[in-house]
Amino acid sequence: MKKVFFTLLLALSALFTSVAQNELPEKATIFLEAHFSGSEIQKISRVDRENVNVYHVLLKDKTQIEFDQTGAWSKIQYKKHLRASLIYLNQCNKSLVTQKK
């Protein structure tokens, strides 16, 4: 049982790798500074999806932003309120900007 648990834990850790903020693509950093400059980043993870790096950023207010390997945002989930600078993005991409319940 311990071997199975350890193997599963090792496999999951290989999928989700914590990265530093300076390892994000420049485009993602610019997006975060423009729309979330007052927010504290809680965690940044890099996931390998079919040999493509995807970055997940979790903010302290539980907002989650997903970026592709070029730094373009692909999904935003917010819990409390949508920032004013993102309202236009929400109007254009309703399926990509969603509120978590």
46, with CB counted inside 10 A (0-12, 13-18, 19+), is middle
pLDDT at 10: 47
| Closest by CA position to 45, among listed 75, 16, 12 | 16
- Classify residue 25: in a domain, yes or no: yes
- Classify residue 2: in a domain, yes or no: no
- Give me 43's structure tokens: 């965690």
**CA 81/CA 50 separation, integer angstroms:** 33
pTM for this entry:
0.72
- Classify residue 28: in a domain, yes or no: yes
Tens of pLDDT along 31-42? 999 888 888 999
CATH code of the domain in which 77 resides: 3.40.1420.30
pLDDT at 55: 93
- Classify residue 10: in a domain, yes or no: no
pLDDT at 91: 55
pLDDT at 100: 66
What is the separation, in whole angstroms, between the first and last Cα of the chain?
35
Whether residue 27 is predicted with pLDDT greater than 80 in this model: the reply is yes
- Classify residue 1: in a domain, yes or no: no
Q: Which residue segment(s) compose the domain that 89 sits in?
A: 17-99
Pairing mode, strands 73-78 and 41-49: unpaired
Neighbours of 39 (CB within 10 A): 15
Tens of pLDDT along 1-15? 656 655 554 455 445
- Classify residue 78: in a domain, yes or no: yes
Q: How many domains does the chain have?
A: 1
